Amino acid sequence: MITERATVCGHQVAVLRRDPDADDGVDPCFFEADFTVAASTARLIWEGSWALVELLRRERDSWLRELVRGRRVLELGAGTGMLGLAAAAAGGHVLMTDVASMTEESLAPNVRANVAAGGGCPSWTGSDSAVSSGSAAAQALDWLLPLEAQRHPVDVFAAEIVLAAECAWLEELVDPFVATLAALLAPRRASVCIFAFRERARASSTCFVSGEEVLRRLGRAGCDVRRREAVAGRPGMEEAAGGNTTQIFEVRRRGAGADACR
């Protein structure tokens, strides 16, 4: 395992991630009911997450930092928790979610390693703990199961902001992701999702889905999507399909206002 660190608003967060070049043998979650090839990527930190972390770290005009500060933030497909912990360090009150096996094996341990003992936040529930001026918690959330049955111990429908970074790039993930996000953005629920997408699909791809197709399905589900900006990737991380750029989008339910992102 490799330790990755990021400093946001003067506070350092650190997570353990898998070394893709190491021969780790059988995945510890291989025999879990929710294990999939897609879920096994959760112990890596993808470029889309780093792109949003960099926006949180931006010294001037960090619209994302202002957006999450003091808000109840839900992260979908949180993986190692690097992005969610960075959002907590920026002042957000963050509930990070992933499938149960990955939450137990990777996400929850990383969250526990970063929270301050005895710190809590009244804006979610008593299950989260302080990270700098924000707070963090981890909870299982499976997009293939009804959300109504997954509202405990923390109610995911209480979120004000949703973060999703590179968690809908495989064909098998897109429709469950879109349905989950549309439900979270329903009236009187979260106002906006900040969605990071890095193009990996080629014209011949059958497993990977293009950004255009993901946005089309979001539109079909009743969501409006606006491109916010493009973030350059780290040197050496070019992709044959999409170069070295992550696209950042704002996603809302159709007809909802844009005040949350101003």
pLDDT tens string, the chain, 262 residues long: the values are: 899 999 999 999 999 987 766 666 555 544 455 555 555 565 678 899 999 999 999 988 899 999 999 999 999 999 999 999 999 999 999 999 999 999 999 999 999 999 876 555 555 656 558 899 999 999 999 999 999 999 988 999 999 999 999 998 888 999 999 999 999 999 888 899 999 999 876 666 668 899 999 999 999 999 999 999 999 877 655 555 556 799 999 999 998 766 555 4
126 close to 166: Cβ distance less than 8 angstroms: no
Would you say residue 94 lies in a domain?
Answer: yes
CB atoms within 10 A of CB 11: 18
Would you say residue 192 lies in a domain?
Answer: yes
Would you say residue 220 lies in a domain?
Answer: yes
Where residue 124 sits, what CATH number does that domain have? 3.40.50.150
Distance, in Å, from the CA atom of 100 to the CA atom of 142, rounded to the nearest integer, reads 7
Q: Is 11 left (phi over 0), alpha (psi -120 to 50) or beta?
A: beta
Q: How many domains does the chain have?
A: 1
101 close to 36: Cβ distance less than 8 angstroms: no
Q: Amino acid letter at 21? A: D
CB atoms within 10 A of CB 227: 12
Task: Give the residue numbers spanning the domain of 251.
Answer: 41-261
pTM metric for this prediction: 0.87
Distance, in Å, from the CA atom of 103 to the CA atom of 96, rounded to the nearest integer, reads 9
Would you say residue 199 lies in a domain?
Answer: yes
Would you say residue 32 lies in a domain?
Answer: no
Nearest C-alpha neighbor of 138 from the set 124, 128, 148 = 128
Would you say residue 201 lies in a domain?
Answer: yes
Distance, in Å, from the CA atom of 236 to the CA atom of 243, rounded to the nearest integer, reads 10
- Token digits of residue 89: 């360090």
Q: Could you tell me where the beta strands, DSSP code E, fall in the chain?
A: 2-8, 11-17, 72-76, 93-98, 129-131, 134-140, 161-165, 192-197, 223-232, 245-253
